[in-house]
Chain A
């Protein structure tokens, strides 16, 4: 590749051709401020519409200023990133953006994590000289996501995520000029759109225009109610990211501190979604083996590949986009929704607690979980199996609001019996983890032999779509893995067109899997953060004494004591579900 030599603020930079001025400047220690620009390196995710114009720089010989994020280097270019013309323009542009932004920082959900706020600080804006009318829109609250687009700055990151990365197509720019904003078609509510509630729009929104529906107040009320037994479950990915909210380095595992904090918050039982993840493997693994065995025996009706079904964003996606294929995914409920009935119908009944008096709270890296726990099929007489789902971020706020000094907390252990888990369940939180956990169990169940090498490194990584063949003692099992719904779409289309040779496929809606979920602490486009979270989970897995789900003693006891056998009648009733055709019913006039 050709090398281009240019001068930026008097410094000579040498970069490959087709490099942007923004990246070229970074090579010589110049950090040009950006707002709409967004990148997740190594994951093929980039947003550079050149819309905010905060990153403008002067290029000698050019009539107007150039957006650094979207202007390519050229030989001999002379660039000035902070002369008076540039500084004045950049500041004026930011003042304009602020002039059309509600000054609600004191009460905004995004305060402290808001990139617009930090930009105003960075550029030292102390007043907004260009006051005027502000654009106002209807506020839209869905089961998981709140759109308060008065705060939208048209960076288009959400649109890029929703369309280019996730191929969901729920969000797009609408209206012209001053009223231009990102919204579902016809400015309808998100609930009427094909939105999957994956929350990736929320995780990239630089301002408070897109945030999660906050259920922490409901949880506080439940905890204060003496008539209620409040049970909490924590998803695997939470422990790998929660520490970031308290200033700990990304990738710090805070499992013990998290348990201690939850106990201090007043939860009666602190359990682990990981336990339910082990249960998921038992059910889904059995289902896989059943389908596989029938297939190998020549049963033509059996559907392969089997698709994982733990991810609620993914479930919403195929219900909207591929309803005709809804008999392919496993019928196993997600770990969150397996935990609910086990807590209420097994654990609660054992203690003599009526299900109406038990509140199950889940801590999730996810926003789609908020919607999932509200689905009608997961309720008994109107009582949801899981009452409230809080995101990692909401839990952090709850901890801070309850005067708990997180970093000084001692490490604590989960309660039993629903707190015991294996290494297999921990890695559910990262892309490839579910299928690796399934392989560990399915291998042993299928071959009857002990699996010596527990780590399936070929299933790990961050490439968008991954393939691997696992040797089941002479039987090659073809595995596909996709994270991000756009990648999932490709795999699904291949299956639909008969091009797929896979036996099993794992799909996670969010890039990176749950560790990159829409409810996680904001990564601000730093893909290293996501990688560090993944390695934290693999570390916890490696350190666990038991690393295969079917060896979890409490799982074995649960089957013996209550469920009978995997995919048995009781399991079928409590732990499996069915899917709906949601292709119609979106964008319907209210």
Chain B
């Protein structure tokens, strides 16, 4: 784990998140004190801009620039919003930060309020994160008691307070305009940008929306200086990124590595390699609407721009590793299934297009696909990306496009040979009895849940393909390796 540098996760697992003293003892609220007593809002924004911190929620927009835009808009009321609507399957970095270091987020939001001119902060958090909510509430209470939140913070005359808003688990509400509508009590669906929230957001007021992990970086940047932060990472992606390792990897969980670390280092050095010593096939980054990276990307430094160039994206930092047993067509279908469920339904390409993509993939994985279907997948994916209203639809076809790009052979096998090499797409598989090996023990027939296997004792058995549901029970039970998958 030597390659790890913990900035966003600096306190997670180290301090007692329910004790503000623990946070303070590790330089907590020092940044806020510095900001309020020594720095002008412009100076803080300048530090942030020079640090090169970019949004960790997926978009990668320069944080300092966003703060500056919000600051420059004239309004009687502004808001700071922390986007804690973490929704990528398998990703839980925001949750870890909120549960393990809630004060870091509160401190950063307060600094943001000072810089943008907002007096009110809102944390939009999934209702499914009860412990995070509890710890946030505890932290807010403690910081209010210590004069670090509320009126006249640190006796400087600066007022800022924070409230919690609950999300009901819609993935699309992680999109900032949808999030704001949800907070306003409206249907959680995105609207066309511009206007950006920084100009017109919550209740039509300028609203600075940043992700949990982005906020968690801010106090450290103030304390240690932008030069230090900017020295970590690549040219255009500074600092670290938390990844949630999952899938066929030995060490699953959160890792925080400098931007520019290669996929090989993450998977083999930190992740401990592929489970069961199997061969690495692909890694999905950027959640369900990211793309897959393959062997040829193993030595590519991971940063915002390289991932986009590779047909994927940073997203919130999900990293799902796949091995030779994974069928890439089925993987694409799995992710599309997620986006079909989570589309808000507002714009037609996302609402209907993703459904059609899913159906085409289903057709292919069932062995009914044609070469024309692959062309349709390509065209449809391109159009959905090109025409969808928000980031969800603009990226949802990525798994399709990147698997077609990198694993076109597997698509061809499914379509032309009606074969799934990873033996995942069951529709195309046939369980067969090898007559030479079958001794007629009847074990398979007795274990078949749908009575698809016939044969007399000591006679060769036969599987009725019409009835077979491809559960694999016969294969498992046969002691003579007499059952094979075709």
Contacts and interface: CB of A to CB of B under 8 A. Distances in A.
A93 B191 CA distance: 19
Contacts of A172: 187
A181 B343 CA distance: 13
Contact of A132 (B345, B356, B385): B356
B348 A96 contact: yes
B356 A130 contact: yes
B346 A154 contact: yes
B358 to A, nearest CB: 9
Contacts of B345: 154, 173, 175-181
Given A53-B389, A177-B341, A133 B346 contact: no
Contact of A129 (B359, B376, B394): B376
Contacts of B343: 176-178, 180
A130 B356 CA distance: 7
B347 interface: yes
Given A50-B389, A89-B386, A177 B355 contact: yes
A543 to B, nearest CB: 49
Interface in A82-138: 85, 88-89, 92-93, 96-97, 99-100, 129-130, 132-133
Contacts, number: 110
B348 A52 contact: yes
Contacts of B379: 88, 92
Interface in B361-387: 376, 379-380, 383, 385-387
Interface in A475-524: none
Interface stretch (A64-72, A347-355, A360-368): A64-72
A133 B355 contact: yes
A51 B348 contact: yes
B352 A53 contact: no
B376 A178 contact: no
Nearest to A54: B348
Contacts of A85: 386
A253 to B, nearest CB: 41
Nearest to A130: B356
Nearest to A85: B386
Interface residues of A, number: 36
Given A70-B192, A179-B345, A65 B387 contact: yes
B389 A51 contact: yes
Nearest to B390: A50
A180 B351 contact: yes
Interface of B: prevailing SS: helix
B380 A154 contact: no
B245 interface: no
Nearest to A172: B187
A97 B189 CA distance: 19
A65 B389 CA distance: 10
Interface string A147-191: 000000110000000000000000011011111110000000000
Interface string B164-195: 00000010000000000000000101011010
Interface of A: 49-53, 56, 64-65, 67, 70-72, 85, 88-89, 92-93, 96-97, 99-100, 129-130, 132-133, 153-154, 172-173, 175-181
The 5 closest A-B pairs by CB, nearest first: A180-B345, A177-B343, A50-B192, A96-B352, A92-B383
Given A49-B346, A51-B346, 14 more contacts: A49-B192, A53-B388, A64-B388, A65-B387, A132-B355, A133-B355, A173-B187, A176-B170, A176-B344, A177-B342, A177-B344, A177-B345, A178-B340, A181-B345
9 contacts: A51-B348, A52-B347, A53-B347, A64-B387, A67-B389, A93-B387, A176-B344, A177-B340, A179-B345
